[in-house]
Amino acid sequence: MVAAQNILMIQLRQLGDILLTTPCLRAIKADNPQHRISFLTHSMGREILRDSPYLDELITYNDKTRLAYCALAFSLRQRKFTLVFDFMANPRSASLAWLTRCPRRYAFSTKRNWAFTHIIPRQIDSDYIVREKFELLKAAGFSPQDESLLMPWDTADLAPYQELLAHDAFRLAPMHIALSPTHRRENRRWPLASYITLAERLVREKNAAVVWTWGPGEEAIIDELIRSCAVPTFKSPRTNLRQLTALLAQLELFIGNANGASHFAVAAGCATLKLCGPHTEAQAWSPLTHQHRIVKAWDDIKNLSVETVWSAIC
């Protein structure tokens, strides 16, 4: 057990990375409930972290003005942290960590080592990001074990799923599968035509109800996919992150790119099959268990065949 500390954890973004940091919160509180934990993140992280039983203070920012930055840095210094973990160590997070003047500041080795007192080398071989984050905790004397992601939801968050249940074809299907065809980086997207072929085969050969998931700015893509399918498929209703997690928790399988939604599927306890190309360190973004698997194309994700993906499903 580590003596009670006033701890700052920094993970500014993206949504998936914030979610992948939640096991660290639980590990620290499990070590000693008297640890006080503050979490600094972009405002996008509020939906993931609010009401966390392992978090004492959520600090968010979304203003990039110099005045707001200085005010944030001053407020962090006033909190007199005794331990800082910066899981990003990018220019913004490193400078904020340094400005806390905390006597113990941990980060992985980067070009910004000057900002930290304890530099942890990254493993040569990529590991699941959660386990990699645990290395920072271990260096500070903690013993993290539970890798499960924390994304709470309650029955009120099931409203989008209940909308789908209103369709007999969805409710009566023997299998319900989410397809997530989007990614903000084009070279990490499996072709939409391949998703269409896969969806049609899932419906025809497995009698599956296929649900397309989507986020802000992606609805038009999903509408086009549904129009292009020769079989009926379903568009997920608009969801927030907790509703998305609640929806995925009701399904048997998630198939998609290594995107943010894939991490929420893991948090929901839904089996996942992630489709990756050479630009994705696949083993870093999946727990790689019997329930969570990957299919990887080593040259170009566009060359990943539907037959290969189908074989992984069966």
For 273-287, the pLDDT digits (tens) are 999 988 777 778 888
* 156-313 matches 6-139 in CATH topology: yes
Average pLDDT in the chain: 94
Does residue 306 sit in helix, strand or coil? helix
CA–CA distances in Å: residue 267 to residues 77, 164, 270, 280: 33, 21, 8, 20
Sign of CA dihedral 101, 105, 107, 113: positive
pLDDT computed for residue 286 by the predictor: 87
Give 164's pLDDT tier (boundaries 50, 70, 90): very high
Residue 283, pLDDT score: 79
Does position 53 have pLDDT exceeding 90, yes or no? Answer: yes
Q: What distance, in Å, lies between the first and last C-alpha atoms of the chain?
A: 45
pLDDT band at 60 (very low <50, low <70, confident <90, very high): very high
Cβ proximity of 265 and 287 under 8 Å = no
Report domain extents, the chain: 6-139, 156-313
Instruction: State residue 126's pLDDT score.
Output: 74
Question: If one looks up domain 6-139 in CATH, what number appears?
Answer: 3.40.50.2000
CATH of the domain spanning 156-313: 3.40.50.2000
**Given this model, what pLDDT does residue 1 score?**
84
Tokens 């870093």 locate to: 284
- Residues of the chain with pLDDT > 70, as a percent, come to 100
